[in-house]
Each structure stands twice: as structure tokens, then as C-alpha cells.
């Protein structure tokens, strides 16, 4: 049987067929992503329950070289030495000329991308502005930098809470301010680990670079945060 259609009609039909296939592929991809997100949510909920169970009461961690970790059995502690090193290095570049003089360094750690087995760490420092409302806090600087290096596909795989942990270092006792906690809750969720390190808070026995790092879960710093 001969095809009575003109070349123009055949081209239009082919294009139509192409769009149909593209829509089908896109729909399948979205369904796959949706299933993967749901799976991740279930896994994250399980991990959170496990971390908060009585058997997981934080224990002293001695295997982290150079860090006297006072709490924590979460595997994220393995990343702390590198996070601390990068945060201290970033802190040296803090811009505090016009204002408080408090230098702050921070590092933000992503969750592990299951496809590549990689995670990312990015650092930031505080950048103070002579009009204080324009200040950039170290935590926000680090989270923004982490966002910059995570490609859209990676973020899709990690889900909305791609921030796994944040570490903040300075020469005083503190936890992140409310504004920074908003960022942490938005991108890390209630289970995000928040590490702080006061550089003046030295181990009484070893006074070299034996920093004390403390850890909280974000939800314990923002217990009434709206979900
Ligand atoms: Zn802040």
C-alpha cells in the first residue's frame, strides 16, 4: 500500500510521534524520581529514629585524630577533621574591618550521592558590611557555596534536604543565629548535624590543636520550627 501523504505531512506525523515518545520518557523519569524520593524519605526517617533511640546515646569518640569529640556516634563524625580544617582556613579570610571583629568560619557537608558515592564540603566565612543588615554570615556563605557545586541532577537525587551537616568555628561559645538556623532547617531539615567549635575552649590536658567540637541536631536548636 502506497503512502499518499506529502513529505510535509509525514514530517509532521514524525514530529508528533517524537513528542509523544519524549513525553512518555519524561513521565517515566518523573515517576522514577518520585519513587526514589519516597525511598529516601523512608530511609531518612528510619535513620532519624535510630539516632534518637536510647541505644544511640552519644558516646565519647576517640578515633577522630586532633578532635576531642564530646558526643556522637553518627558516621558524619568522620568528616569533622576535614570540615574543621577547612572552616579554620576560611575563617582567616573573614571580613570584619568595619564591625564586630568576630571572625567566623563554617563548612557545609552534603549527603552522599548514591550514584557516585561522593559528597561535597564547601567552606565560608563571615563577610560583614558597614550596614549590618547586609552582613553575610559564615553558615549562609558555606551553604550557598555548597548549593553552587551541587548540580541540579545531584540535588534531585539527594532530595530537598541535601545539607547533611554544618560546622561553625570561632573564638567564643555560640550556636548559629536564628537566621542561619532558618537556612539550616530549610536545606538540612531537623536531622541536620550542627557542629560548633570554640577555638578558646582547649582540652585541659592537650593545649595544642586539640579542639573541642560539640554537636546538636538542628531540631534541638529549633524545637518549635514549623514543618
Ligand atoms: Zn547567623
Compute, in angstroms, the gap from residue 182 CA to the centroid of ligand 1: 9
Is residue 119 classed as helix, strand or coil in its secondary structure?
Answer: coil
Compute, in angstroms, the gap from residue 137 CA to the centroid of ligand 1: 5
**Residues 191-205: pLDDT tens digits?**
999 998 888 866 544
Sign of the Cα pseudo-torsion (190, 157, 147, 213, in order): positive
Compute, in angstroms, the gap from residue 110 CA to the centroid of ligand 1: 19
Is residue 86 classed as helix, strand or coil in its secondary structure?
Answer: helix
Sign of the Cα pseudo-torsion (217, 223, 224, 227, in order): positive
- Cα(155)–Cα(162) distance, rounded to whole angstroms? 7
Compute, in angstroms, the gap from residue 217 CA to the centroid of ligand 1: 16
Compute, in angstroms, the gap from residue 175 CA to the centroid of ligand 1: 9
Compute, in angstroms, the gap from residue 194 CA to the centroid of ligand 1: 13
**Residues 89-110: pLDDT tens digits?**
999 999 998 777 889 999 999 9
pTM value > 0.75:
no
Cell of 114: 548514591
Compute, in angstroms, the gap from residue 189 CA to the centroid of ligand 1: 17
Phi/psi of residue 214, nearest 5 degrees: -110, 150
Cell of 180: 542561619
Compute, in angstroms, the gap from residue 125 CA to the centroid of ligand 1: 11
Q: Are 141 and 128 in contact (CB under 8 A)?
A: no
Compute, in angstroms, the gap from residue 184 CA to the centroid of ligand 1: 10
**Residues 52-82: pLDDT tens digits?**
444 444 433 333 333 334 344 557 888 888 8
What's the chain's average pLDDT? 81
Compute, in angstroms, the gap from residue 223 CA to the centroid of ligand 1: 17
Could you tell me whether strands 193-202 and 163-170 are parallel, antiparallel, or unpaired per DSSP bridges? Answer: parallel
Q: How confident is the model at residue 177 (pLDDT cuts 50, 70, 90)?
A: very high
Cell of 170: 570561632
Cell of 42: 523512608
Amino acid at each position: 500500500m502506497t503512502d499518499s501523504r506529502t513529505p510535509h505531512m509525514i514530517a509532521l506525523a514524525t514530529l508528533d510521534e517524537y513528542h509523544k515518545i519524549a513525553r512518555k520518557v519524561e513521565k517515566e523519569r518523573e515517576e522514577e524520581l518520585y519513587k526514589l524520593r519516597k525511598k529516601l524519605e523512608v530511609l531518612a526517617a528510619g535513620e532519624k529514629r535510630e539516632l534518637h533511640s536510647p541505644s544511640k546515646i552519644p558516646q565519647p569518640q576517640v578515633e577522630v585524630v586532633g578532635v576531642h569529640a564530646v558526643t556522637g556516634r553518627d558516621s558524619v563524625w568522620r568528616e569533622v577533621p576535614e570540615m574543621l580544617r577547612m572552616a579554620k582556613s576560611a575563617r582567616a579570610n573573614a571580613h570584619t574591618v568595619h564591625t564586630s571583629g568576630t571572625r567566623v568560619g563554617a563548612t557545609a557537608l552534603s549527603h552522599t550521592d548514591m550514584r557516585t558515592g561522593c559528597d561535597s564540603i564547601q567552606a565560608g566565612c563571615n563577610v560583614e558590611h558597614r550596614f549590618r543588615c547586609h552582613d553575610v554570615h559564615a553558615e549562609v556563605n558555606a551553604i550557598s557555596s555548597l548549593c553552587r557545586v551541587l548540580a541540579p541532577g545531584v540535588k534531585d537525587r539527594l532530595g530537598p534536604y541535601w545539607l547533611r551537616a554544618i560546622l561553625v568555628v570561632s573564638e567564643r561559645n555560640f550556636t548559629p543565629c536564628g537566621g542561619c538556623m532558618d537556612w539550616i532547617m530549610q536545606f538540612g531539615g531537623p536531622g541536620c548535624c550542627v557542629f560548633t567549635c570554640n577555638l578558646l575552649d582547649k582540652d585541659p590536658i592537650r593545649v595544642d590543636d586539640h579542639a573541642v567540637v560539640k554537636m546538636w541536631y538542628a531540631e534541638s536548636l529549633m524545637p518549635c520550627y514549623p514543618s
